[in-house]
Amino acid sequence: MSGMANYSATCFGKIPSRGDFVKGSGQHQLITVLDRWVSQGMERLSDDPRWKTAYDNACAIDFAFVGARSRLSVVGHLRPSLDSSGRRFPFIVAATIERDDALIFRCAPAGLSHSFGALAAISETGVRGGEVAALMGELDGVNCAADFETAMQSDPLGNFVRRNSLESLASLIGAPDVDSVRRIILAIGLLMRPALGQGDLAIDKEIVFPLPADERNRNLVAGLWLYLLTAFLRRTMVELQVIIERRADKPRLIIGFNGSSPATLVAALSPDTSADRVIALFDPEWIEDQAEIVNDYGVAKLSSYLAQPHVSLEQAVSTFREVFLGE
């Protein structure tokens, strides 16, 4: 078993049954991080005159802060909420996971379905009027580190790519055809290839991917996108912010490259005000204009391969790694 430490879950934010902030016991450093992340995000959000409408329409999100060289990761759930006086502020339930391997950096969502579900249930209880004492009791029963370890033992992402094809992935994300998936995968490679071999990385954009509507496949597809992207970042010092929207219609995966930056949170809460920061990879048609599609033999080969609907995702990932990473 990989070395890991269990840290109890905690909470922070506002709920309708209280007029002041709710804070879990312990995990003071984590609460400080969450407070800064959300408070600065709300401050930025309020710069928009329509921020209240954006906030009220925002969906709940699962999130993680994961680092390429960090043993400690944060996983959590955030739900837009308000206090007993109607003042808007989210309610967050979160925990930390410590590991001595890179699995959580490479494909966190694939192993966090149970943890995300448990944290979301506690958050929903609070936002729907639950008592603080009951919430604190539920937090004590959450063990995200053990849940992640158990999930990864069954190789959820490996099983997913073995049993699915490019065509079935297109269907899961609501893409019109397999060409959309081809463009997304090529875009990941071409956008991230300059990061190979770099230790320090400065990326001030968020990359946004389409996800399935159903929860199980949503986390697996998020894990796949993250796995492809982080293949280029293993030797960097980057800390990613991974946000998974919980919405019935066209949920998104949002990845930021600056840890707990409030800008990434704002991109989730108010997409319209963050359009200039976002690289949206829903069907990146611009990929067809890239010279590498024709002039780079490996990329051209991969493009042709990805145009075949019945190619398995396992084969597609293998060819992607061969072309872009030399593996």
Q: What percentage of residues in the chain have a pLDDT greater than 70? A: 98
Q: Which two tokens stand for residue 63?
A: 């999130």
Among 29, 13, 269, 267, which Cα is nearest to 124's?
13
Q: Which two tokens stand for residue 299?
A: 């990329």
272, amino acid identity:
D
Specify the pLDDT at position 7. 73
Residue 196: pLDDT over 90: no
Give the pLDDT confidence of 92-145 residue by residue, as tens digits: 999 999 999 999 999 999 999 999 999 999 999 999 988 888 888 899 889 999
Residue 3: pLDDT over 50: no
Residue 85: pLDDT over 70: yes
* Residue 4 binned pLDDT confidence (cut-offs 50, 70, 90): very low
Mean pLDDT confidence for 205-224: 96
Alpha helices in the chain (DSSP H): 28-45, 51-57, 103-107, 113-127, 132-139, 144-153, 156-163, 166-172, 178-192, 215-230, 262-269, 292-295, 297-306, 313-325
* Residue 1 binned pLDDT confidence (cut-offs 50, 70, 90): very low
Q: Which 3 state secondary structure label does DSSP give 207? A: strand
Give the pLDDT confidence of 258-275 residue by residue, as tens digits: 999 999 999 999 998 888
* Residue 53 binned pLDDT confidence (cut-offs 50, 70, 90): very high
* Residues 6+ positions from 117 with CB-CB distance below 8 Å: 215
Give the pLDDT confidence of 243-258 residue by residue, as tens digits: 999 999 999 999 999 9
Specify the pLDDT at position 243. 99
Specify the pLDDT at position 133. 86
Q: Decide the pairing of beta strands 206-210 and 278-280.
A: parallel
- Mean pLDDT over each residue of the chain, to the nearest integer: 94
Mean pLDDT confidence for 287-295: 96
User: Mind giving me the DSSP string for 87-137?
Assistant: -B--EEEEEEEEESSSHHHHHGGGG-HHHHHHHHHHHHHHHTT--HHHHHH
Which neighbouring-strand residues pair with 76?
Answer: 63, 94
Which single residue is written with the structure tokens 């991080």? 33
